[in-house]
Structure 1
Amino acid sequence: MFHQLEVNVVLNRNSNGPFDGTSHSESGKRGSSPTTLGQFVRLGQLLSFALASGIVTTSAVFLFLVSQREPDAEQPGWIFLAIGGGVFVASLVVSFLLRLMLKSNAASSLRQTQEAEEVCRGGAAASQSARDAWENWDAEEPLPRPLIGFLSATQTSRIVAQAVLEGAAMINLVFTMLDGNLIHFAFAAFCLVGVIAMTPTTGKVRSEIRSALTVGGVSGEDRF
């Protein structure tokens, strides 16, 4: 009797289709992984705020410490400033390339899914209508599984790129304690701007979906 009951429960769970709204909604409430566009945006904004806050807080602390230091005639020359500037430039390049590469891979993976192929298949009018449905998906409605995977991948690319910039900012802030040069704070400020610029919004995420569903991959309009 108990075995039969267990079988019935399993069958009832499997009766929901892979894109059933109730199933996705319940799983989103039970699990920690986002399943709606709005959840992805809010999580990305929270992570971006955390990274930006780390840079701002650390900058404030180091600025206070530097201001309390007595002038030292034997401070190191421009070597730390050169290293800090090099790290800053390298972080910009690495951050940009990593973000672009990971987004491109995510877009390619999305277009290779059966569901995405069906969306883009057919005449131009039919394909455009299907793409519009995915691009303008309600922010609080459970997303199709391919879009969940795509947005998870783009979320990862964003966090990696932001982490690279945060690391460059922290290195420059440490250098301020070594040479007392305030130019390092300018490098950290530019890194902060880069982190903030990559903060996701609903419009940016929709643009990423639009670019991914366009033949040729990620377009140049929303690389950051």
Structure 2
Amino acid sequence: MNDPVQNPYIAPGAVDSSDIGIAAIKDRVRIGMIITFALVQGVVFATGIMLFLMLNGDDGVAAGAQPAAAQPAGAGDLVLPGLGIAIGVGACVAALVVGGMMKRISINHFRAQLSAAGIKQVDHTATQFPPQVDQLINASRARTIVGQAILEGAAMLNVILMFLDDNLIHLVPIGVLIAGIVMLLPTVGKKLALVEQASSR
């Protein structure tokens, strides 16, 4: 009564063509790594361009104007750096919250699918997995991309703010956000750990 539902068109002992193998998981992980590299490269490239423009800009001072270094610092000078840091912190929080919500939804959906298919638990050490695992990993990939996109957007905003106010303090949130993007780098181990977590009751 509790045996898993079997495909009647597949011979006993044969592998269901709808199953996903460890090689397919590795392929999806490689795609995620390429996306991560592209996002990091874009932020680093934009930051480098802005730094080049800032450091090689026109250093001339208009006649009668006070040099920028001699001008007194005011509270207004902290507006854009503060805004950049706030954007960075907000992006990190948003990435965590949205990622957590998407993870819970995908795990609940995965467990419901396993129950409907009569599968009690998935062995994360196996070489072949039921098709429900494929959907879980695809949902995980979408969650990773969303989180990385949030962090990348905040980093690019800090790049723009850095160019506007010529303040290198923006490199701090940019560096933190790049580190956050890298931390979301998908690996086979992370995917298998997700399968183990999602299949355990």
TM normalised by structure 1 equals: 0.71
Does the 8 Å CA contact 1:110/1:146 hold for their aligned counterparts? Answer: yes
- Greater fraction helix: 1
Shift of residue 15, structure 1, vs aligned partner: 4.5
CA distance in 2 between counterparts of 1:108 and 1:145 reads 16
Q: Does 1:38 align with 2:55?
A: no
User: Superposition pairs for residues 96-115 of structure 1, below 5 Å?
Assistant: 96-114=96-114
Q: Does 1:84 align with 2:73?
A: no
Shift of residue 63, structure 1, vs aligned partner: 1.4
- Per-residue CA deviations over 1:171-222 (Å, capped at 9, x if unaligned) read 000011111110111111110000001101111111111111123xxxxxxx
- Per-residue CA deviations over 1:110-160 (Å, capped at 9, x if unaligned) read 00014676332xxxxxxxxx53x2x1233xx5x421111111111101100
Q: Does 1:158 align with 2:144?
A: yes
Q: Give the corresponding residue for 1:125.
A: none
CA distance in 2 between counterparts of 1:22 and 1:114 reads 16
TM normalised by structure 2 equals: 0.79
Shift of residue 82, structure 1, vs aligned partner: 1.1
CA distance in 1 between counterparts of 2:48 and 2:10 reads 52
Matched length? 180
- Per-residue CA deviations over 1:39-81 (Å, capped at 9, x if unaligned) read 1211111111111111111111111111113467279611111
Q: Over the residues paired in the alignment, what is the CA RMSD in angstroms? A: 2.8
- Specify the SS of the correspondent of 1:77: helix
Change over 3 Å in CA distance of 1:114–1:197 after alignment to 2? closer
Change over 3 Å in CA distance of 1:22–1:179 after alignment to 2? same
Does the 8 Å CA contact 1:103/1:157 hold for their aligned counterparts? Answer: yes
Q: Does 1:184 align with 2:170?
A: yes
Unaligned runs of 5+ in 1: 1-13, 29-34, 121-129, 216-224
CA distance in 1 between counterparts of 2:15 and 2:51 reads 51
- Specify the SS of the correspondent of 1:199: coil
User: Superposition pairs for residues 121-200 of structure 1, below 5 Å?
Assistant: 130-131=121-122, 133=123, 135-138=124-127, 143-200=129-186
Unaligned runs of 5+ in 2: 1-7, 60-66
Match of 2:36 among 29, 44, 48: 48
User: Superposition pairs for residues 21-36 of structure 1, below 5 Å?
Assistant: 21=15, 23-24=17-18, 36=24
CA distance in 1 between counterparts of 2:147 and 2:114 reads 29
Identity of aligned residues (%): 26
Does the 8 Å CA contact 2:18/2:131 hold for their aligned counterparts? Answer: no
Q: Does 1:65 align with 2:59?
A: no
CA distance in 2 between counterparts of 1:68 and 1:136 reads 55
Does the 8 Å CA contact 2:29/2:186 hold for their aligned counterparts? Answer: yes
